[in-house]
Amino acid sequence: MKKLLSILLIAVFAISLLPISVFAADPVRYEAEDAVITAGDIRNAGGDYADSVSGGKFVGGFDAIPEAVTFTVNAANAGDYLMTVGYISMQPRAFRIVVNGEVTENSAFVETGRSWDGDTKTYTVEIKLNKGENTLIFGSNGNAPSIDYIELKEISCTHPTTEIVGAKDAALDAPGYTGDKVCTVCGQVLELGNKTYFIPENRYEAENATINAGQIRPAYGQYMDSVSNGQFVGGFDGMTDAVTFTVNVPKAGKYTMIIGYITMDARSYDITVNGSKTEDYVVPETGNAWEGDTKTYTLDITLNAGDNTITFGQNDGALVPNLDYIQIEAIPCPHANTKVEGAKEATKDAEGYTGDTVCSDCGETISKGTSIPKLPAPAPTGDAALAISAFALLAAAGAVLIARKRKIEE
């Protein structure tokens, strides 16, 4: 009994000497504020998003090339591990991650929020670790996200079956999602999906237009879903800067142009349509310019049939709103003036037609006409009428003679 107790005590003592961070089935979390920090600084979480920050602190401000946060982790086994990174960023930024001296691909973390007081998001990536001690360095290529923590879990499942989770169709006012590829056995997300967007046929995206000196910017943060196709154009504030659209319509006339714009304060565009300048206007509604938050303004314009050129710029060099898209809508014609086309009279040889009712202003056929039956043949006159009458009398006399003959024979 004493021998057994001694063995148990030795075992407990041995276990107590093992590193606390040996991985088992449960993930192990490492706080960034407890790592080795080079030039970055520890920041306290605050504001509405403080509760999302692990341990109430995070590390930020390591934006220069040599700056880094270095974690030392101890793995029980060599092999593949799932690393979840808790990060904080207002816009898509990338870490330069080095695992045991090998640089992983620079990952642009796409989900964003607020950076100055917290709002932790997560990104998961597979890495390989050696048995025992490993060094994981999170560096910067010039502008890195803030980092809250990393969490590591050994991968033991072979993921024999998978399913797509979270897929949804895109709508006009909300993006869709292709869905994540998830292991049905262990629940690990193997592959992240992508956002999808519903773009109407009559919508023209600014990022697909001809851009002179402006720049395409990705939407991010809490307003990103308001931005059409997830991108917009900003920074075209100089004298010659412009965004030019080529718009094709089937017929000439008046159209409504819906402008999707993004701005923090009252600014105006200089818009030209086929070389003719429209009046400057100040956008009436403002929001957040650096992350998205698209608002709309409606303007009536006149277009030619076929291709039209619409340019957004600012000739006086003043600041202009960022530009998300334009959408061209046909203005319904009231059909105030109409005319009848294609009418023709019926004859004895051909049907007639009442004619179609057509709008004199837009040319649209409002209603179709109907057919008119052929005219009846005219009654005979003159010698033709006498001949027909004589023929009728002869026919009648013949009928009487035939009747009498039948009676005699009876």
Checking 100-104 for CB contacts under 8 A at 24+ apart, the result is 100/129, 100/130, 100/134, 100/135, 100/136, 101/135
Looking at residue 90, its pLDDT comes to 82
Phi, psi (deg, nearest 5) at residue 322:
-70, 155
Res. 408: pLDDT tops 80: no
Q: How many other CB atoms are there within 10 angstroms of residue 240's CB atom?
A: 11
Same domain flag for 356 and 266: no
148 against 141, higher pLDDT = 148
**37 and 115 share one domain:** yes
User: Is the residue at 67 inside a domain?
Assistant: yes
CATH number of the domain bearing residue 267? 2.60.120.260
On whether both 234 and 209 belong to a single domain, the answer is yes
pLDDT value of position 384: 56
Of the candidates 144, 173, 198, which is a domain's last residue? 198
Distances, alpha carbon 95 to alpha carbons 35, 115, 205, in Å: 16, 15, 30
Residue 393, pLDDT above cutoff 80 = no
For residue 385, is pLDDT > 60? Answer: no
Same domain for 121 and 80? Answer: yes
Under the banding of pLDDT at 50, 70 and 90, the label for residue 351 is very high
Is pTM, for the whole model, over 0.85? no
Task: Provide the pLDDT for residue 287.
Answer: 86
Q: Are residues 126 and 31 located together in one domain of the fold?
A: yes
The overall average pLDDT reported for the chain is 84
**Predicted local confidence at residue 395, as pLDDT:** 62
How far apart, in Å, do the first and last CA atoms of the chain sit? 149
Maximum mean pLDDT: which of 280-284, 353-357, 382-386: 353-357
Residue 223 within a domain: yes
Q: Are 323 and 342 in the same domain?
A: no
344 shares a domain with 294: no
| 185 confidence band (pLDDT: 50, 70, 90) | confident
pLDDT higher for 148 or 103? 148
Q: Return the number of other C-beta atoms located less than 10 Å from residue 165's C-beta.
A: 14
What are the beta bridge partners of residue 276? 273
- Asked if 101 and 221 sit in the same domain, the reply is no
Structure tokens at 265: 């304060």
In this structure, are 18 and 150 located in the same domain? yes
Number of folded domains in the chain? Answer: 4
- The more confident residue out of 181 and 387 is 181
- 20 and 117 fall within a common domain: yes
% the chain with pLDDT above 70 = 84
The continuous run of DSSP H or E covering 385 comes out as helix 383-409
Domain holding 63, by residue range, is 14-156
Residue 391 lies in a domain: no
Tell me, yes or no, whether 386 lies in a domain. no
Interior/surface letters 182-201, b for 16+ CB within 10 angstroms, e for the rest: bbeeeebeeeebeebbebee
Residue 233 resides in a domain? yes
Whether 400 maps to a domain, the answer reads no
Name the β-bridge partners of 126.
82
List, in sequence order, every residue forming a beta bridge with 86; answer none if it has no partner: 122, 149
Q: Is there a single domain that holds both residue 150 and residue 60?
A: yes
Same domain, 25 and 148: yes
The fraction of the chain above a pLDDT of 90, given in percent, is 44
Q: Give 11-68 pLDDT, tens digit per residue.
A: 333 333 333 333 445 889 999 999 999 978 999 998 888 899 999 999 998 877 778 9
In a domain, residue 180? The reply is yes
CB atoms within 10 A of CB 29: 16
Q: Do residues 106 and 141 lie in contact, with contact meaning Cβ atoms separated by under 8 Å? A: yes
Would you say residue 268 lies in a domain? Answer: yes
Nearest residue to 89 via CA among 63, 55, 51? 63
Among residues 300, 330, 360, which one ends one of the domains? 330
Last residue of a domain, one of 304, 330, 356: 330
